Amino acid sequence: MSDNLIQQHMTKRPYLICLMMTSVDGKILGEKWGKSKEVQPLTESFEKVHELIGHKSWIVGRTTMEKDFTHYAKPVYKEVDHAINREDFVASKDADSYAVVLDAQAKLGWNSSDMLGQHVITVLTESVQDSYLAHLQQIGLSYIFGGKEDINLHVVLEKLTSLFGIETLMVEGGGRLNGSFLNEGLIDEYHQLILPLADGRIETSSVFEIPEAGRRFNATLLKLQEVKQIEHEVIWLRYKVAGQV
């Protein structure tokens, strides 16, 4: 049995691969680099590499989802005359792939259960309104609960495997989401695409951001597996997570 399968068997959670695209100074948020004819081929490398890795189910945070996919749509509520139990709602357990989003306070607006051909799973807390859940049920969008007031990432990952059969999941969020998974020791593999450009902005986010108050480790150690130069002088680094110190 491979190391990956052994780990999944022991933890009953997906194998997590974090894929990120950065400038040479480690900054993310590629929209700040514009869409010029020089920059666009560089940023397009992200989706190409995602496809090459071959694992299509992915997870992001609310901020990334509303910025890049739902385009700040407001939440939709359906009138309901009865209480809805806080039980996970599985609308599709045999989809080819899934788009997963952490949305603790139910701030995202949905009008479809499909995202780029993938079934959506939203991760909520039990504090959300019944009327929000009623709408999700009506449109057939799956939801799971990650906790009462806060999301427990370990619980979320175990549910994604047990309820939906997700064995490998791509983490492609902002710095805070990536940092949350890293801080819990949940990332197994890290892929970084280094684009041949420099950002230089002091305020631009980096790949992993962990607030000091909740930090569990001084650092996470990585073991280099592969280095490639791909199209447009982009460097593709692949690491395995070796442990924390």
Which of 112, 137, 165 terminates a domain? The answer is 165
- Co-location of 64 and 154 in the same domain: yes
- Co-location of 85 and 160 in the same domain: yes
Which of 165, 187, 212 terminates a domain? The answer is 165
What's residue 4's pLDDT? Answer: 52
What's residue 8's pLDDT? Answer: 45
- Co-location of 69 and 93 in the same domain: yes
Residue-wise pLDDT tens digits, 13-58? 999 999 999 999 999 977 889 889 999 999 999 999 999 999 999 9
What's residue 30's pLDDT? Answer: 76
CATH of the domain at 206: 3.40.430.10
Residue 101 in contact with residue 65, Cβ under 8 Å?
Answer: yes
CA distances to 24, 171, 183, 210 from 176, rounded to whole Å, are 20, 12, 10, 6
Number of domains in the chain: 2
What's residue 225's pLDDT? Answer: 98
Angle at the Cα of 160 from the Cα atoms of 155 and 161, rounded to 5 degrees: 100
Residue-wise pLDDT tens digits, 181-234? 999 999 999 999 999 999 999 998 999 999 999 999 999 999 999 999 999 999
- Co-location of 69 and 156 in the same domain: yes
Q: Is the pLDDT of residue 124 over 80?
A: yes
In the chain, % of residues over pLDDT 90: 90
| Spatial distance between the Cα atoms of 116 and 99, rounded to a whole number of angstroms | 9
Residue 24 in contact with residue 195, Cβ under 8 Å?
Answer: yes
- Co-location of 49 and 87 in the same domain: no
Which of 109, 141, 165 terminates a domain? The answer is 165
What's residue 32's pLDDT? Answer: 85
- Co-location of 160 and 170 in the same domain: no
Closest to 205 (Cα-Cα) out of 70, 61, 53: 61
| Spatial distance between the Cα atoms of 20 and 50, rounded to a whole number of angstroms | 10
Which structural domain range is residue 120 located in? 60-165
Residue-wise pLDDT tens digits, 179-193? 999 999 999 999 999
Q: What is the pTM of this model?
A: 0.91
